[in-house]
Amino acid sequence: MIPESRYFHVAPTGAMTSLASLADALAAGAGYVWLDYVNPSRDDLMALVAPLGLHPLAIEDCLDEDQVPKMEEYPGHTFLLFNHIELEGQALRIEEVNYFVGPSFLISVAAHARTPARRDRLEKGLAVEKAALGRGPDYLLHMCLDAIVDGTLPAIEALQDDLDRTEELTLTRERDAVDPSDLLDLRRNLLGLRKSLFHEREVLMKICRGDSPNITKTSLYHFRDVYDHVVKFAEEVEECRDMIGTLLEVQLALANNRLALVGNRTNLAVRRLTFITTVFMPLSFLAGVGGMSEWSMMTGPQNWRIAYPAFLVAMATIGAASYWALKWLDRRATTRDGR
């Protein structure tokens, strides 16, 4: 998204008026102002330090993309950082959204925004609850956080659908269609969701506890509703993570079973070859020693009509005896192992 700055004045009646510049917003009368920044520059945010008393460290946190959800108190305002989460294909995209809330202003900063989905969802919420806007900037903050948290639900549902589909493939004959890398991608996305929801839950717990002087007690009931949503989403993510762990174990067990089957087939082939070799070993010995002229020398050349058939009968008898002896030993070993 291109850089954009919007300025609004919210009257005590809840009427919202768009303003042309920051100077008009600072000069507004009763009510409060809402300053909405998308992909602002450092100069845009530093211009708010003097008139509104924003702390420079909070400005730095707005521009830093590698932050976790948090809430910090500064003189005259409260700084909050939340994550807007969307699932784009197989990748989880996390965008930080920062808020400054004071007695007479709310400033929202999306310094690394890429899609307008969060703003579209917020606009729909504002159209429904116009009357609540006039109660103060903390009510508008609640609407912003509620839009962000509700925007997490489609990503969770999409991950749950992928997980259910993977589970079905794993437990059916199509288990080979499951790519272990897909399970790892799911696990990585769930870890990102868990990390974000864990810190957002801590932030909302502080708000509901009344730790911020810039959030009135009358608005805490609304923030508790957002807190309940975050807790519910966190539990669903934990359940999905447990399922991912189970599916990975099942995948590992199936891989081990396949390897065991291959090993059993190899052992059976080697066993058969060994059996054949053992049967023919004495026959090869007899053929090597007595199958040449030595047998004729021992029995006499004139007796070949009797000697050679006798030799063949002896070889067949020894082969059959070796075969049945080995089969008997094999059955005995199998029976013993079965016990």
Mean of the per-residue pLDDT values of the chain: 82
Dist CA 107 CA 36 (whole Å):
6
Tokens for 194?
């868990």
pLDDT above 80 (res 113)? no
Evaluate whether 35 touches 54 at the Cβ level (below 8 Å). Answer: no
What's the pLDDT tens digit per position in 69-106?
999 999 999 999 999 888 887 788 888 899 999 988 99
Looking at residue 204, its pLDDT comes to: 94
Q: Are strands 4-10 and 16-19 parallel, antiparallel or unpaired?
A: antiparallel
Q: Which of 117-126, 233-242, 249-258, 310-319 holds the top average pLDDT?
A: 233-242
Percent of the chain at pLDDT exceeding 90? 19
Dist CA 16 CA 234 (whole Å):
34
Looking at residue 126, its pLDDT comes to: 73
Looking at residue 298, its pLDDT comes to: 63
Query: Mind spelling out the 3-state secondary structure of 233-293?
Result: HHHHHHHHHHHHHHHHHHHHHHHHHHHHHHHHHHHHHHHHHHHHHHHHHHHHHHHHHHCCH
pLDDT above 60 (res 337)? no
pLDDT above 70 (res 237)? yes
Closest CA to 109 of 151, 67, 157: 67
Bigger pLDDT: 292 or 61?
A: 61
pLDDT above 80 (res 302)? no
Evaluate whether 114 touches 93 at the Cβ level (below 8 Å). Answer: yes
Looking at residue 202, its pLDDT comes to: 94
Bigger pLDDT: 254 or 211?
A: 211
Looking at residue 227, its pLDDT comes to: 94
Quick one: pLDDT band at residue 322, thresholds 50, 70, 90?
confident
Looking at residue 297, its pLDDT comes to: 56
Dist CA 69 CA 195 (whole Å):
9
CA 89 centroid distance within chain: 13
Contacting residues for 190 by C-beta, under 8 A, at least 6 apart: 159, 237, 240, 241, 244
Dist CA 149 CA 143 (whole Å):
10
Closest CA to 194 of 155, 243, 241: 241
Quick one: pLDDT band at residue 294, thresholds 50, 70, 90?
low
Looking at residue 223, its pLDDT comes to: 93
Quick one: pLDDT band at residue 290, thresholds 50, 70, 90?
low
Dist CA 103 CA 95 (whole Å):
27
Tokens for 213?
């002087």
Dist CA 116 CA 258 (whole Å):
48
Looking at residue 101, its pLDDT comes to: 94
